[in-house]
Amino acid sequence: MRARAVSRFPALSPPQWLALLAAVIFAIMYFSTALPRLVYPYDLDFIEDSMLMQALRFARQQPVFIAPNADFNPHVYMPFYTFLGGWLFKFTSPSFVPLRLLSFSASLVMALLVGYITFRETKGDKWLLCVSVGLALGGYRISGFWFDLARVDSLFVALGLSGFTLGLYARDSQTGVVTSALLLALAFFTKQTALLLSLGLAVCLFLTNRRNGWLFTITYVGLISVSLFSINSFTDGWFFYHVFGIASRDPVELQRLGQYIVGEVFGRMVGLSLPALLAAGLGFRRVGWRILREQPWLVGLAMAVAISGAGRISVGGNLNNLMPAYACLCLAPALLCRELKLWAAKPIPASRPRLGWPRIYSPEIIIPLLALLQFALGVYNPFRYIPSPAMRASGDRFIQRLASINGNVLVMMHPYYALLAGKEPATQIAALWYVRERGALPLPDDFVSRLQNHYYAAIISDESFFEIEPTLVGLITKYYVLAETLPLASTPLAPVGMAVRPQVIYLPAQP
């Protein structure tokens, strides 16, 4: 019995045991933080609110991609995530729970895919499989605690990684390649930047199986082209306006690129980016540019880093944009392990002498040390990020306060709160700001008319960036008066991303 156990669990070095222990701890930390957040009834991030309202539009079969108006305005994201959310709402009441469950499940798919790819690339290394899953879940803090939120990011990464994985490992199967194109098309309809990942897979397929490379490209282009133009035609052009026109108007700050490369890729994620560079360098030294054909995951890593960079250099691009790069970089330890073993085993021509390295550079030492470094960079206290009973109680009091108001209310950053209070929700002001080309276009006529005619019995503002533009403030203060500043204990905080909470109440001005 003892001999069988030894053969099943081969001896590990002390750093390997430490990395394995860290992986288990970070997995426990993720579950202990995320699971209580799934059932928290109020915003964790203000974008969750607008995602929920968009999913509700799909559930009610109401138009989503429409002209700017007072009732609802969509986000710049593609619609697949909120479409799935609307389908889930057909079986549940509208709440954050189904949407967060969707994201949470997608984050687990992402982590398991990282483990599966690691297992294949290392030809069955169970230790590194477990560590890679822990690393994937260990990116929770680094990517801003977005894994489990009602947002598109986790689903986007899970679909993109699934499509890329299937495309590589089933590249000789026409069915596999077509299915890969479908998954990546769904990733694109979750978030636009999936296009780069599809481009990377097409390059990999053309390097290894040109015929199926063409099959993938034609299938993928056909799927997204027909879908895009059909949806745009059905929405009278408003679909392109929102997901391409408005999305492309985010200004870019080139200094953010330096911050991304230095502070994030080679800062917060250096425990993963360093093994990726080492794997690429050793592979290039061993076989030259053929490494891209031999190890196509390097192309996938490069595309994921580019996707995250494109998101981070845009003004307002938050830490959620790091998720694609982080997830794919979690494969770097496996690629380095594979390359170190190949380098040690494969004969090297005399013109290119074999590198020698001390014991510390053996896979059993350097890989767990780099993994431990990455775990250290992702440390957080789970209790800080679990909604407290006081947060829930403040939300309950706020909803009761809204319900007690006689008439419609405009909760500018949290329209779902109006719905919870039994009132008809209005547009989220942040979404209205975006669809007006970041506040450059006039406010919609129906919105202006509602304020002028005191349609809302109360307006509740978080005093956020989106609510203090001069045009909006001037309109509100002309027809309403600031009546009350809300105590912090009486309103729920949305702590992730740009932290906001309801702060003031405006009431109609007396004639």
> Largest Cα–Cα distance of the chain, in whole Å?
93
pLDDT at 2: 46
> CA–CA separation, 121 vs 126, rounded Å?
11
- CB neighbour list of residue 219: distance below 8 Å, 6 or more residues apart: 177, 178, 181, 182
* CA gap 453, 410 in Å, rounded: 14
Backbone angles phi, psi at 172, to 5 degrees: -95, 0
Task: List, in sequence order, the alpha helices (H) in 39-143.
Answer: 46-59, 80-89, 96-121, 126-137
**Residue 107, phi then psi, degrees to nearest 5:** -65, -35
Give the pLDDT band of residue 341 (cuts 50, 70, 90): confident
Helices and strands (H and E) in the chain: how many = 23, 4
Q: What percent of the residues of the chain are helix, what percent strand, and what percent coil, each to the nearest 5?
A: 65, 5, 30
Residue 371: pLDDT over 80: yes
Average pLDDT over residues 96-108: 98
Question: For residue 241, what are the contacts with CB-CB under 8 A and spacing of at least 6?
Answer: 65
Spatial strand order in the sheet of 456-461? 408-411, 456-461, 504-508, 480-485
Per DSSP, 75 falls in state -
Q: Name the helix (H) or strand (E) containing 484.
A: strand 480-485
Mean of pLDDT over the chain: 92
pLDDT digits (tens, 9 = 90+) for 268-284: 999 999 999 999 999 99
Which pLDDT tens digit goes with each residue over 28-69?
999 999 999 999 999 999 999 999 999 999 999 999 999 999
Within 8 A by CB and 6+ apart from 459, the residues are 409, 410, 412, 476, 480, 505, 506
